[in-house]
Amino acid sequence: MPNYKLLTPGPLTTTDTVKKEMLFDHCTWDDDYKKITLEIRDKLLKLAHVEEPEYTVVLMQGSGTFGVESVLTSVIGGEDVLLIAANGAYGDRMEEIAKHAGLSYFIYHEEYSKVPSAQKIGEILKEHPEITHVSMVHSETTSGILNDIASVAKVVKGAGKTFIVDAMSSFGGVDIPVGELGIDFIISSANKCIQGVPGFSFIICRKDKLLESRGKARSLSLDLYDQWKTMDKDGKWRFTSPTHVVLAFAQALREMEAEGGIPARSRRYRENNRLLISKMEELGIRPYIGREHQGPIITTFYYPEHHNFSFQDMYQYIKDRGYAIYPGKVTDADTFRIGNIGEIYKEDIEKLCEIIKQFLEEEN
Ligand SMILES: *Cc1c(COP(=O)(O)O)cnc(C)c1O
């Protein structure tokens, strides 16, 4: 099968050494295996710049959405009210989760090309003092916009509310001072900026808030507190753990350290992203998000003008030459997306833009 590199926001292209870890069938109750889980949890706390006992980490089977659903349905009790600030499909998904679970919630919709306003959130909190929790997405992968969680954190924490952040596509690729911002629950997954393979999500939790959630969960398998209670004892997962994925993730964390941690990785992603945008602009292809709020993870581009453009034709042309890109997801414009995270370097971006240039020339 001809191989290609993924320019998508996860799963993404991983190293051969990460993939090789999965050749071992580990025993789940073996001490060596449980130790790996404990080490992963320690390292994730460090990446978030927090420590025990204020914070702790829960690993949860399933994709990223399982992690978000686990938090929302475990920590928001029957008397609690959630405010969701949404400017993309992943914010909208939080509403879907809230609806399914029968949570009481308000939603503040912002345009997909704009960041949710901290001031607006402050006004909503004043208007509705019954709100107890606020949730939002950091890197909205729908558009590639990087939301201003720092300003929102100030308002939310100032009002004494619980702050929940979906940092799925940014954690590890953008440095987040979780403790300093006072984020209570921050969610990400194995297959994004840490560069592991899909199979579990992880949640960094403020411990007192996690303890308060005991007995509130609406789901058995997604019960955040119960998952933590079992895992915190000695690293044993509640229910079958995704052993191969865990081994691959442990290796991905070692490789991240070898690269130079979050500073080095976020620099590489940022440089990939800047190069991508400038090369695309040279081809007359414009980004959807303005410079000020464009994140370093994934970029939404308008379809090129003056061309009889077919995304499907371009996708196939690029795939035949070794890369897979992404269709657009914003609702108000014709766009496509290119991710620049994973084992992706400057050379890949240059090669990709050369392929796109050829495609546009041949189409003309
Ligand atoms: C990837 C992603 C998710 C989770 O999606 P899954 O398909 O469940 O892994 C959630 N939020 C954001 C912002 C994401 O980028």
Best residue for ligand 1 mutational test, from 61, 169, 298, 341 (most atoms within 8 Å of Cβ):
169
Q: How far apart are CA 225 and CA 211, in angstroms?
A: 7
The percent of residues above 70 in pLDDT, for the chain, comes to 99
Q: What does the pLDDT read at residue 363?
A: 81
pLDDT in tens, 251-278: 999 999 999 999 999 999 999 999 999 9
Q: What CATH number was assigned to the domain covering residues 5-9+261-363? A: 3.90.1150.10
Q: How far apart are CA 196 and CA 134, in angstroms?
A: 29
Point out the ligand 1 atom lying closest to the alpha carbon of residue 88.
13
Please give, one letter per residue, the 3-state secondary structure of 25-82: CCCCCCHHHHHHHHHHHHHHHHHCCCCCCCEEEEEEECCHHHHHHHHHHHHCCCCCEE
Least confident stretch, 9-13, 156-160, 183-187, 244-248: 9-13
Whole-number Å distance, alpha carbon 164 to ligand 1 midpoint, is 15
Using the predicted structure, report yes or no on whether residue 25 has a pLDDT greater than 90.
yes
Q: How far apart are CA 170 and CA 298, in angstroms?
A: 10
Considering only CA atoms, which residue is closest to atom 3 of ligand 1? Answer: 64
Point out the ligand 1 atom lying closest to the alpha carbon of residue 201.
9
Q: CA-based angle 73:157:145, to the nearest 5?
A: 75
Point out the ligand 1 atom lying closest to the alpha carbon of residue 10.
1
Please give the structure tokens belonging to residue 25.
Answer: 């069938």
Report, as an integer, the average pLDDT of 246-252. 98
Whole-number Å distance, alpha carbon 65 to ligand 1 midpoint, is 6
Q: How far apart are CA 271 and CA 340, in angstroms?
A: 9
Using the 8-state DSSP alphabet, how is residue 174 labeled? B
Continuous segment of H or E residues that includes residue 108 = strand 104-109
Continuous segment of H or E residues that includes residue 90 = helix 89-101
Q: How far apart are CA 59 and CA 323, in angstroms?
A: 31
Q: With 0.85 as the threshold, say if the pTM is over it.
A: yes
Q: CA-based angle 244:255:224, to the nearest 5?
A: 50
Q: How far apart are CA 350 and CA 25, in angstroms?
A: 39
Q: Was domain 16-257 assigned CATH 3.40.640.10?
A: yes
Q: What does the pLDDT read at residue 329?
A: 87
Q: How far apart are CA 90 and CA 169, in angstroms?
A: 11
What DSSP assignment string belongs to 215-247?
Answer: T--S-STT-HHHHHHHHHHHSPPSS---HHHHH
pLDDT in tens, 209-240: 999 999 999 999 999 999 999 999 999 999 99
Residue 112 identity? Y
Q: What does the pLDDT read at residue 79?
A: 96
**Residue ranges per domain, the chain?**
5-9+261-363, 16-257
337 known ligand binder: yes
Given a contact cutoff of 8 angstroms between Cβ atoms, the answer to whether 168 and 203 are in contact is: no
Whole-number Å distance, alpha carbon 8 to ligand 1 midpoint, is 12
Mean pLDDT for the chain overall:
97
Q: How far apart are CA 107 and CA 118, in angstroms?
A: 14
Report, as an integer, the average pLDDT of 311-340. 95
Secondary structure tally for the chain: helices H, strands E: 13, 14
Report, as an integer, the average pLDDT of 115-144. 98
Task: Provide residues with CB under 6 Å of ligand 1.
Answer: 9-10, 63-65, 90, 137, 141, 166, 168-169, 189
Please give the structure tokens belonging to residue 51.
Answer: 């420590």
Whole-number Å distance, alpha carbon 283 to ligand 1 midpoint, is 30
